Every structure is written in C-alpha cells, then in structure tokens.
Amino acid sequence: MANSTSNPPETFTAAFERARALGLRAVAHGGEVGPPAYVWRALDARHVERIDHGVRSAEDEGLIAAKKG
C-alpha cells in the first residue's frame, strides 16, 4: 500500500511543476500517515493549494497557525 511514508512530498515535485505550468491546480495528500513535517514539505516542495487528509497537521500548532486565513 502506498502512503505518504513510502512517497515523501519531494517525490513528484517535477510533475507538480509541470501540472501548474499547464494551468492545473495543485492538491496533495499528506499528514494522514506521515508526520506533520510531510505537510510542511508538501506545501514547500510542491507548492500545493490544498492538502487532503492532513489530519496530523493538528499535531503542529505552528503549521495550523501558518496556514490559517
């Protein structure tokens, strides 16, 4: 089973860059199985607009504060 621990956020950075260049929106899964650091890394490396299943984000008050609003 593939999850965020077997596919770290940086894995598909080039594909996300290409998709954005084509006008597609960037959404990623992260922080469901992997730690909150994976959410940070998905936001920073992939420059996503939204994180799906980022439930472990709640473990990092700094992440929640930075992404509010």
Just list the catalytic residues.
Answer: 32
DSSP states of 11-68: GGHHHHHHHHHTT---EEE-SSSS-HHHHHHIIIII--SEEES-GGGGG-HHHHHHH-
